[in-house]
Amino acid sequence: MIHDFSVRSKPLAPTKPTFSMSKDNSTQGPILRPHEYDGIQEYDQKLPNWWLFSWYITMVIFVIAWVAYYQFGMGMADEKEIDTALAKIAEYQKKELELISDDKLWEMSLDPKITAAGAATFQTTCVACHASDLSAHIAGAKLPGLPLNDQEWKHGHAPTQILTIIRKGAPDLTKGMPPWEPQLGLQRVVEVTAFVLSKHQKGEPVTLSADSPLKAVK
Amino acid sequence: MNAITQKQTITFDDKVVRQFMWASILWGLVGMLVGVIIAAQLNYHELNLTSWLSFGRLRPLHTNAVIFAFVGNMMFAGIYYSTQRLCKARMASDLLSKIHFWGWQTIIVSAAVTLPLGFTRGQEYAELIWPINIAVALIWVVFAVNFFWTLAKRNEPSLYVALWFYIATIITVAMLYIVNHLSIPTSWTHSYTLFAGVQNALVQWWYGHNAVAFFLTTPILGIMYYFLPKAVDRPVYSYRLSIVHFWSLVFIYIWAGPHHLLNTSLPKWLQMLGMFFSLMLWAPSWGGMLNGLLTLRGAWDKLRTDPVVKFFIAAVTFYGMATFEGPLLSIRAVNALSHYSDWTIGHVHSGALGWNGLMAAGLFYWLTPRLYGTKLHSVPLANLHFWIALFGILLYVAAMWVSGIMQGLMLNSTNAAGTALTYPNFIETLTAIRPMMAFRIIGGSMYLIGMGLMLWNLWMTARSGKAVNETREVTLIDRGSVDTMGIKTTFLADPVTFFFGGLFLFMGWIFLPKGADITALICALIFGFLAVKKFAVAHSTWSNWYERLLENWLPFTLLTFIAVALGGLIQLVPTVMVNRAKNMEDRIQQVYTPLELTGRDLYVSEGCYNCHSQMIRTMLPDVLRYGDYSRLGESIYDHPFQWGSKRTGPDLARVGGKYPNSWHFNHMMDPRSTSVGSNMPSYPHLFTSKFDQKTLPKKIAAMVQLGVPYPIMTDVEIKENAIKQGIAIVENLKVDGLAASPDTQIVAIIAYLQKLGKYDTPEPNEALINRAAVPQLIPGPGNPDKQRPARPVQ
């Protein structure tokens, strides 16, 4: 059986079109347009007011926001906002750093709470290069980092020197250690330093490695 | 209307409709199967079995298959069926229909072969290589000729709203596709796009966003306008709404592209336009939804009994949801959270699975019984398909909402003082969303099963009947009564004049310097008021003009083209035309060495951009996590740009120099060895495959042609240069006890990754600093964009 789908079951009789903006047509019921397209008819209803007004509102928001930003200079440029935030962070760090000294870091390395926090950060961030036992070796294979559990140091053994390397990275970044302070924040970097120090003794004998940049200075 | 009524019996070409329908279902199954596979790969990296089955190569296959193969074929089926009936004419040329069908399938097959092999242009939804691009353009022209020729031969004087949407689709897709695929070939399988950096970003998202608009939305709206009233046997809700929402939709949609680039280094005025036009797009989109849903008034009971109506109404509801979510995501503050996250993925799937997929199902359940002169094999099975699909989508979308919002919040979270990130380790945020990734696999699989049910149901339906081509007697129209409108009556009409006048003043407001701009705004408002007053008096003249326009396909098409072309012109031209220096800000990217360029091409070919962005946004969390925010000048030589749209992994804009070569070596061999918990695939094949030295000189030549300042080098020098740099990397790896050959792909990739984020600071040039920040056409004196600092490096 093949239907003739071109004819609708019962075409509705078209109502006379009265196109009006000002007058409300709702009392007369919806207008049915006279033309039929392959059996499809169309009402010609008024646009729903809530729809129309939400559209107008989005346009008004556009105009207001644009005028506020470009005409009256309200709101800050994104770059300025970032500069302000970064300056604030730098200031905070400066204050915090004034409180930190070699002795203070050694003291922290004895605080199990601080070293535990440092260990947690170390296990997620540093083990890829320094290994979880700080040996920079996994199953005999050398990892990219330097061992941190021996007494040989490349960038200095003093706690503040270690802190600086973790904060700012190695002097030559292409040779390894990236700066971690931006990503981790100062507090976590201090904790990691305390954790590394907890594997060492204050006053233990230390040596500078052969390729240390500090040697040349000496 | 006509004194003489001449009748003719015609047979519609329903064969091509059947062909497109089956092609759509089959490709849909393939595309969604690939979708389920890559969803599983995200959670189980072991499923990246070989190089050609890895996520980065399959993801483009998934998106292209669903967009161009599934929805594409579905759209053609719907358009061919309804256009013939709305024009009361058989398609103008059976040959063109055949070329269109077979040509399109050939394109799909070639895409399915080339994408897994790693042949790509590296721009989303525009990945196909240049020979296929040409084929797509040609087949599209074949389709267009066939369609417009049928319009010209129509036996129905007036164009129905469905046809308006088809017209907009055909001309706009052609425009977008051609401009965004302009490239310089370097071999049969590789080319560089004409645009770089910000220009490329703008053109790409002008295309990408409007591929959604004019490939996935307008044709489907047209299909809705024909098949929904047919299915529910009710008049369309409002003709007036059709007019208003059609014209506003096609005009406004084009402007919204920059909302894909919010908070990036894209000039702020473009971001603002993108955001506010997206907001203004909400109502026009909902106009379509309303016209669909409210057509059902008086026939809501059909929703209970007829699976076709169920699919259509659910689809239109998803359309409404997605087009509400879209403007929401376009607000810069919301976008700061949602961009690069799974929220976007959920959003596109509520569009693709909800709107497109359910419309396709409704269409096919309606068509098949009619195309085979029989009844649907099983209504309960169709109902089961509906519920399983609906549940699948909801699970999928809800999982992506939770995942996207959670990861977005975690990535942007800082401590109370705002001095440090709460979750400094990216993997922490990835681990948190893993359960959501699992739900996505389940939701997607359910949807796929539903598609399988549909195939079975429709196949059984087809077998129970036999292919019929509808025959109908039509009344021929007097050719002299239609398509007679001249240029003058088309353009010198009040609606057109007021539109252009208003647009002109609006442009004055956006582009003129301070003082003049506010004057232009006031003039525009007064002008708008005048237009409304004029309309109140002369509305019958306006509507008569429009009814006349509907009987003239070429003027209608011309006006549509102008409406869609304007937004693109106004946004793209200032940025694309101004010279590079002005797009640079205070930094200029260092030119890639031959080896680094090779590595970059491999990066593109492996589809790394599918998971890694190279754009640090002007947002504090981004800056803390990835480094100083990206400047325009830092991607000035990037053909194509790689700013990305999703961060399954961290941003790489400044990864150069962050880790030693050995780290990258180990990471590419086994990402878990350096990043515990990573879901990145391993890339063992990079360690054995050699990179392509032969085409390297050609690539450099193309780059030079594109204006990248390479020093003059002979072919031998280029290759030597590459190998020399390779040897240096190999020597460096040796120190860490790693062995590689200098001509392997891994060496090139390492070279490229180490270059990322390297820039020079150009000589401070007074003239440049004063003018560098934004295209000169744009800013007024008080424009805050101008305050974007040209900062010295510390």
Chain Cα centroid distance, residue B310: 28
| Angle between helix A112-125 and A186-197 (nearest 10) | 100
Q: Least CA distance to A76: which residue of chain B?
A: B784
Chain Cα centroid distance, residue B506: 27
Same domain for A104 and A47: no
The secondary element (H helix, E strand) that includes residue B185 is: strand B183-187
Min Cα distance A19 → chain B (Å) is 7
Place of tokens 């997605």: B322
Model pLDDT, residue A22: 43
Q: Answer yes or no: is A76 within a domain.
A: no
Q: Which two tokens stand for residue B370?
A: 């009619």
Chain Cα centroid distance, residue A201: 38
Same domain for A105 and A201: yes
pLDDT score of A71 more than 70: yes
Q: What angle do CA B44, B50, B54 make, to 5 degrees?
A: 55
Q: Least CA distance to B534: which residue of chain A?
A: A21
Q: Which two tokens stand for residue B43?
A: 């959670």
CB A37 within 8 A of CB B158: yes
* Arithmetic mean of pLDDT over chain B: 91
Percent of chain A with pLDDT over 90: 33
**Among candidate residues A36, A71, A106, the one where a domain is terminated:** A71
For residue A214, the tally of other CB atoms under 10 A from its CB is 15
Give dist(CA B482, CA A2) in Å, integer.
33
Contacts of B416 (CB under 8 A, 6+ apart): none
Give dist(CA B751, CA B739) in Å, integer.
16
DSSP state of B773: S
A79 with B789: Cβ contact below 8 A: yes
Q: Sorting pLDDT into bands at 50, 70 and 90, what band is A5? A: very low
Give dist(CA B275, CA B258) in Å, integer.
8
Same domain for A100 and A57: no
pLDDT score of B320 more than 80: yes
Q: Across the interface, which of A71, A73, A128 has its CB nearest the CB of B675?
A: A128
We report the CATH number of the domain holding residue A203 as 1.10.760.10
Lowest average pLDDT, out of B24-28, B183-187, B510-514, goes to: B510-514
Q: Answer yes or no: is A18 within a domain.
A: no
DSSP notation for B529-567:
HHHHHHHHHHHHHHHHHHHHHTT-HHHHHHHHHHHHHHH
Helices and strands of chain B, counted as H and E runs: 30, 6
Report the phi/psi class of residue A214: left, alpha or beta, with left for phi > 0 and alpha for psi in -120 to 50.
alpha
**Which residues pair with residue B690 across a beta bridge?**
B744
Q: Answer yes or no: is A21 within a domain.
A: no
A144 with B662: Cβ contact below 8 A: yes
CB B477 within 8 A of CB B157: yes
Q: Sorting pLDDT into bands at 50, 70 and 90, what band is B256? A: very high
Q: Answer yes or no: is A3 within a domain.
A: no
Min Cα distance A140 → chain B (Å) is 12
| In chain A, residues 94-153 whose CB comes closer than 8 Å to chain B | 121, 124-125, 127-129, 141-142, 144
pLDDT score of A135 more than 80: yes
Same domain for A107 and A54: no
Return the closest-CA partner of residue B756 out of B603, B605, B542.
B603
Could you give the domains of chain B?
6-481 (1.20.210.10), 588-763 (1.10.760.10)
Min Cα distance A101 → chain B (Å) is 21
CA distances from B130 to B31, B64, B111 (A): 22, 15, 11
Q: Sorting pLDDT into bands at 50, 70 and 90, what band is A26? A: very low
Residues of A in contact with B327 (CB under 8 A): 58
Model pLDDT, residue B406: 96
Model pLDDT, residue B781: 31
Give dist(CA B684, CA B403) in Å, integer.
30
pLDDT score of B454 more than 90: yes
Same domain for A65 and A99: no
Residues of B in contact with A77 (CB under 8 A): 268, 784-785, 787-788
CB B427 within 8 A of CB B352: no
Q: Sorting pLDDT into bands at 50, 70 and 90, what band is B514? A: confident
Task: Please state the three-class secondary structure of B222-235 as a single string.
Answer: HHHHHHHHHHHCCC
Give dist(CA B794, CA B776) in Å, integer.
28
pLDDT tens for B382-405 read: 999 999 999 999 999 999 999 999
Same domain for A142 and A185: yes
The secondary element (H helix, E strand) that includes residue B191 is: strand B190-193
Q: Answer yes or no: is A52 within a domain.
A: yes
A79 with B629: Cβ contact below 8 A: yes
A142 with B419: Cβ contact below 8 A: no
Contacts of A180 (CB under 8 A, 6+ apart): A125, A166, A167, A169, A188, A189, A192
Residues of B in contact with A170 (CB under 8 A): none
In a 3-state reduction of DSSP, which class is residue B754? helix
Q: Across the interface, which of B276, B427, B659 has its CB nearest the CB of A62?
A: B276
Min Cα distance A85 → chain B (Å) is 7
pLDDT score of B776 more than 90: no
Give dist(CA B326, CA B282) in Å, integer.
8
Same domain for A100 and A205: yes
Same domain for A40 and A120: no
Min Cα distance B35 → chain A (Å) is 31
A32 with B235: Cβ contact below 8 A: yes
Same domain for A140 and A191: yes
Q: Sorting pLDDT into bands at 50, 70 and 90, what band is B763? A: low
Residue range A97-119: mean pLDDT, rounded: 91
Place of tokens 């120099």: B657
Residue range B82-89: mean pLDDT, rounded: 96
By DSSP bridging, strand A207-208 and strand A152-153 are parallel
CB A191 within 8 A of CB A163: no
Give dist(CA A6, CA A9) in Å, integer.
10
Structural domains of chain A, count: 2
Q: Across the interface, which of B236, B279, B283 has its CB nearest the CB of A62?
A: B279
**Among candidate residues A71, A106, A124, the one where a domain is terminated:** A71
DSSP notation for B598-612:
HHHHHHHHTTGGGT-
Length of chain B in terms of residues written: 794
Q: Answer yes or no: is A79 within a domain.
A: no
Min Cα distance A168 → chain B (Å) is 12
Pick the residue of B261, B268, B308, B620 with the most A CBs within 10 A to test the interface with A by mutation. B620
Q: Which two tokens stand for residue B16?
A: 């091509």
Same domain for A48 and A110: no
Q: Answer yes or no: is A13 within a domain.
A: no
Return the closest-CA partner of residue A33 out of A19, A21, A22, A47.
A19
Prediction pTM value:
0.91
For residue B485, the tally of other CB atoms under 10 A from its CB is 18
B421 with A21: Cβ contact below 8 A: no
Same domain for A162 and A57: no
Pick the residue of B663, B678, B755 with the most A CBs within 10 A to test the interface with A by mutation. B663
Extended beta strands in B347-499, E state: 471-476
DSSP notation for B121-135:
--STT--S-HHHHHH
Model pLDDT, residue B582: 54
Residues of A in contact with B82 (CB under 8 A): 38
Q: Which two tokens stand for residue B721?
A: 């240069």
Residue range B589-611: mean pLDDT, rounded: 95
Give dist(CA A124, CA B427) in Å, integer.
9
Model pLDDT, residue B785: 46
Backbone angles phi, psi at B211, to 5 degrees: -65, -40
A182 with B625: Cβ contact below 8 A: yes
In a 3-state reduction of DSSP, which class is residue B6? strand
Model pLDDT, residue B398: 97
Q: Which two tokens stand for residue B761?
A: 């600071």
Same domain for A160 and A121: yes
In a 3-state reduction of DSSP, which class is residue A35? coil
Backbone angles phi, psi at B645, to 5 degrees: -140, 0
B272 with A65: Cβ contact below 8 A: yes
Domain that holds residue A198: 95-209
Q: Which two tokens stand for residue B285?
A: 């989109």
Q: Answer yes or no: is A90 within a domain.
A: no
Min Cα distance B338 → chain A (Å) is 18
